[in-house]
Structure 1
């Protein structure tokens, strides 16, 4: 089967970044190793994001959008992308473009053997506080999940769609995507990718949702792991 890719781009008040999103993702699509399209998920933006998204999609047949009635958060936006994708693969990148769409090709090199391939941000261009809080949060999360991932929050991932659609999402679960694939007896891999400074807009995550929030989510993950149903059909008629 020939793979195809839907790139999910959650958007929350990123009007200043969206024209750049269109340019860079259009450039990637034109050279991508697989047939690719973009799904912009507007997460209840209160700026001009929705208007710009509609303009982009009206002029570019490779771009589509889903518009929420209010802000539900990053995990909900990613889930909506999973739910609405019709391709064999789903990708995820943030609309601040601190990772490069071109690096999707680095992940695609491994997706045949693995069910999720995630980037690891090398030489991160974030502040000391952001880097330190992410390092601590990753260490805490890894001690709960034992998924072996160094940078599960990296906003550059590709997942086989059949696995992605089986993830029982809850708020905050975007930090646990590799662990959720492992619960399905899937295989995961991390690959170094580029990282850049944010050039427009403002970050939507602070100290609370980088440290304390993820710690609470770890306990939710443990509950999910205990209750998770996974099965394989041996035969049917």
Structure 2
């Protein structure tokens, strides 16, 4: 079967969420707006996630996986996914189901017009501290990048694969995907999506890597923006 869309799902020690995740993704595949498959990236989990991932992939032909030998972080997992996929569209969601894969259909409505479509979490079901640190990080990032994106941390995005493969991924730069698309002279659209509380497993980001860490990454982005190579070809000899 020819697929149009691949959903990347990075996983790090999420064994308590994987049964729910499997059910949610299988349900979505039946109603996806385009032909869709799922790529699980096991980011060096040291719990029972790998065994469950392999069982999931055996039971559903639309599921496949990549497993890292050690934990490398979200940016590396996304880069591995971008490198691996061959569909024209690539998406991303977290394994904790704080966002609903069915909302990918809301984003897919805009992919013909935009290079990246990103969710904005409505009525967030997070703690006060988590929402505060996220708000601070988004404000600082917008100040540096001028990307105009309200919620770059929302783990529900779709990118045209051609553009995703051109993103020079560095550790921490998963927060800057819209800004990196804009550096390519690409276009970005925001769409409101649903948000849910985490019901199992542990959050992988604390105050440091939601607020202070992203501030450091902003300076990395400014360096990259200054050095970034982008060109368009108007004419060739052939």
Give every structure 1 segment of 4 or more consecutive aligned residues whose post-TM-superposition deviation is greater than 6 Å.
none
The answer (yes or no) to whether the contact 2:3–2:36 under 8 Å persists in 1 is: no
How far apart are the structure 1 equivalents of 2:234 and 2:68?
Answer: 39
Map of 2:16 onto structure 1: 16
Secondary structure of the residue aligned to 1:154 is coil
1:91-146 deviation line (CA, Å, top 9, x unaligned): 00000010000000000011110000000001000000000000000000000000
The answer (yes or no) to whether the contact 2:3–2:37 under 8 Å persists in 1 is: no
How far apart are the structure 1 equivalents of 2:47 and 2:3?
Answer: 35
Secondary structure of the residue aligned to 2:30 is helix
How far apart are the structure 1 equivalents of 2:51 and 2:195?
Answer: 28
Map of 1:58 onto structure 2: 58
The answer (yes or no) to whether the contact 1:3–1:89 under 8 Å persists in 2 is: no
Across the two proteins, how many residue pairs are aligned to each other? 236
1:38-75 deviation line (CA, Å, top 9, x unaligned): 00000000000011101111111100000001000000
| TM norm structure 2 | 0.98
Structure 1 gaps, min length 5: none
Map of 2:227 onto structure 1: 227
How far apart are the structure 1 equivalents of 2:181 and 2:205?
Answer: 25
TM-aligned CA deviation for residue 3 of structure 1: 7.4
> How large is the RMSD of aligned CA atoms in angstroms?
1.0
| TM norm structure 1 | 0.98
TM-aligned CA deviation for residue 21 of structure 1: 1.1
Map of 1:155 onto structure 2: 155
TM-aligned CA deviation for residue 234 of structure 1: 2.1
How far apart are the structure 2 equivalents of 1:222 and 1:153?
Answer: 19
How far apart are the structure 2 equivalents of 1:47 and 1:55?
Answer: 15
How far apart are the structure 2 equivalents of 1:174 and 1:28?
Answer: 24
Structure 2 gaps, min length 5: none
TM-aligned CA deviation for residue 20 of structure 1: 1.1
Secondary structure of the residue aligned to 1:134 is helix
